[in-house]
Amino acid sequence: MKFLGIDFLPLNTPFEHIVQRLAAALIIQMIGSLGIITILFNVFLLFTRFWCLPLFYMCWLYFDRNAGENGGRVNLWILNWKIWEYGEAYFKPKLEFAPNCTLDAKRNYLFACFPHGILPHGTFMTIRSVTSPFHRLYPAFDVKVAVLPLLLWIPGTREIALGIKYISCSAKSLSYVLKSPEGGKIVLLYPGGAREAYNSKPGLNKFTILRRKGFVKVALKNGVPLVPVVTFRECDLFEQIEGPCIRRFQEFVRGKFGFVPILVNGWGLFQNTFGVVPRQVPLATVVGTPIEVERVENPSQEQIDALHNKFKLELKNLFEEYKFKFLDNPEQTFLEFE
């Protein structure tokens, strides 16, 4: 139903769908805006009779500063929020495994996931969430998500991130988890990072991997299988608002802090023309065959390059095989590495 150029939802849209849209938008804002709101609120409290509260919180931040480097921690209350369930119901994501993909709960795995997208919804909804199909199939695995360390310093945002098993993406943090002797650990890592977020545009399949070899070195040093993971249509959730001045600002922030502030346009709660609600596209995550990796305490550049090349080949083959199942125009869709 269009009015003044805005594509409104039909009047008989189920209320549950509106709640699902709200949940999808809130998940985005927890990462994008909650930290700013929390900081401003703490600054406001400094000028009230509750001035001691932000000071106590700053002390807690310092005391808890290494949580993301030492395996993180979990908050079962946050982990079981209904918002994750509503978010999954909104996207209805699919999860598939390559024919030769077998996972042993006595081993640890490093999942290298592509693309990053604005925020990696696909792998979170299909693998990390407690309501995900992966959790239902493999409940014995403890799945963690590796993110930019800065995210684990932002007030408010860090408490939710740590509560849902986010950890730092530093080599030290990854090794801390992957060396767990009891096994059963999976780390979701997004090698493309902030640079790949630039490429998050509808219809574009460009993975940032050519110079990203740190994750390969981590796999070698810990002797853990390296698993390629591709989420189809991750980049179709939003359009980016771009411009020369915006790009210069983004490059400045990325150079200084390692992340990219991206202006996005999606849907709204009651219309499909503009807003911060991710578009409801059919996300599909495919977990490839684990690449066996022999442990090397100090891998040479040749060993790193060899495993990196093997991973790139497996990643490309995985994309090419499954694009015919999950993309609309697979014959005209090609994967690009940068």
**pLDDT of the chain, 338 residues: tens digit per residue:** 777 788 889 889 999 999 999 999 998 888 777 888 888 898 999 999 999 999 999 999 999 999 999 999 899 999 999 999 999 999 999 999 999 999 999 999 999 999 998 888 899 999 998 889 999 999 999 999 999 898 898 888 899 999 999 999 999 999 999 999 999 999 999 999 878 887 888 888 999 999 999 999 999 999 999 999 999 999 999 988 877 887 788 778 777 766 677 788 899 999 999 998 999 999 999 999 999 999 999 999 999 999 999 999 999 999 999 999 999 889 989 999 99
> Helix 15-32 vs helix 34-45: angle between axes, to the nearest 10 degrees?
70
Instruction: Give the CA distances from residue 293 to residues 118, 170, 323, 337, in Å, rounded to whole numbers and listed in that order.
Output: 30, 20, 27, 23
Q: pTM to 2 decimals?
A: 0.92
Instruction: Give the CA distances from residue 83 to residues 25, 89, 138, 283, in Å, rounded to whole numbers and listed in that order.
Output: 10, 10, 22, 18
Q: Residue written as tokens 């993309």?
A: 327
